[in-house]
Amino acid sequence: MEERITLQVARYRPEQESKPTFEEYEVPLREEWAVLDGLNYVKDRLDGTLSYRWSCRMGICGSCGMTVNGEPVLTCAAFLSDFAPGPVRVEPLRNFPVIRDLVIEMTDFVHKLGRVKPWIVADDEAPPEGAHGEYLQTPEELEEYHQYSMCINCMLCYSACPVYGLDQSFVGPAAIALAQRYNMDSRDAGNALRMAELSGHDGVWGCTFVGECTSACPKGVDPAGAIQRYKVTAATEAAKSLLLPRAAEK
Ligand code: FES
């Protein structure tokens, strides 16, 4: 007989219930099955009303993040066998409102992402070079920001961040890491625009360097490091803006 493992899954309809409850489901414990496969088994065979997000099933889209046995993880990359003999407790990502069951409201994150302009801001006075009007870049220049470009917007770092948990005005780890990704890109001219967004009280200075964001990242990005680098840049810029006018007066 096939081995099985128990999933304890959070169920919640906020418009009808005052708090979440847990439902237990027995699913096959197969070596190649991730937690997401267990949830898909529940949805397909046991209870079609269960709600959760997923798409790529290969750690790329960032949509399947949930809290599994207390830790924020991508459920397509967390294997059931790692939690054997179980039970496996599956809850929505922390620090976000729940829409239903395991589905969280991500509007706040999307808004914050937009604030840091996570795209290449062109310098109108320095048009692209090269035969076809391309922005050319060396492998060394690419290496400068490469790790930050691995972010998949899964929001695990927000779920792990105690600062964001206490104060949701904090712009948060992934948005700052992505701001750094573009600031460090040799083709970008948006540093000053992003600095204006991130040097305020809800920007980089909100971070107390707990480092949980970096530990939680499934793609090896270091948002905590990005934030500290940003603090150094912000402090340097502020010092320059104070000192330069005085130097000009002399
Ligand atoms: Fe896409 Fe897990 S389903 S990252």
Q: Let me know whether 239 and 118 are in one domain.
A: yes
Same domain, 123 and 50: no
* Claim to verify: residue 10 and residue 24 sit in the same structural domain: yes
Return the SS3 of 74: strand
Candidate from 32-41, 49-58, 80-89, 198-207 with smallest mean pLDDT: 198-207
Task: Quote the domain boundaries for residue 149.
Answer: 107-249
Q: Residues 24-43: pLDDT tens digits?
A: 999 999 999 999 999 999 99
Does the N-terminal peptide bond of residue 118 adopt cis geometry, omega within 30 degrees of 0?
Answer: no
Q: What mean pLDDT is predicted for residues 54-75? A: 97
111 and 208 inside one domain: yes
CB burial of residue 22 (10 Å; 0-12, 13-18, 19+)? middle
Same domain, 154 and 224: yes
Query: What is residue 249's predicted lDDT score, i.e. its pLDDT?
Result: 65
Q: Which helix (H) or strand (E) holds 111?
A: helix 107-115
pLDDT tier at 248 (50, 70, 90 boundaries)?
low
Domain closes at, from 49, 74, 104: 104
Please write the tens of the pLDDT for every residue from 130-186: 667 778 889 999 999 999 999 999 999 999 999 999 999 999 999 999 999 999 999
pLDDT at 225 over 80: yes
Mean pLDDT of the chain: 92
- The alpha carbon of 211 and the centre of ligand 1 are apart by a number of angstroms equal to 23
Q: Domain holding 61: CATH number? A: 3.10.20.30
160-to-39, 87, 140, 240 alpha-carbon distances in Å: 22, 22, 32, 35
Residue 161 is part of a domain; what is its CATH number?
Answer: 1.10.1060.10
Is the Cβ atom of 74 under 6 angstroms away from ligand 1? yes
Q: pTM of the full predicted structure?
A: 0.90
Q: How many domains does the chain have?
A: 2
Together in a domain, 76 and 120: no
Cβ–ligand 1 contact at 244 (below 6 Å) = no
Q: Which atom of ligand 1 is nearest to the CA of 62?
A: 4
CB distance 88 to 7 below 8 Å: yes
Q: How far is the CA of 65 from the centre of ligand 1 (A)?
A: 8
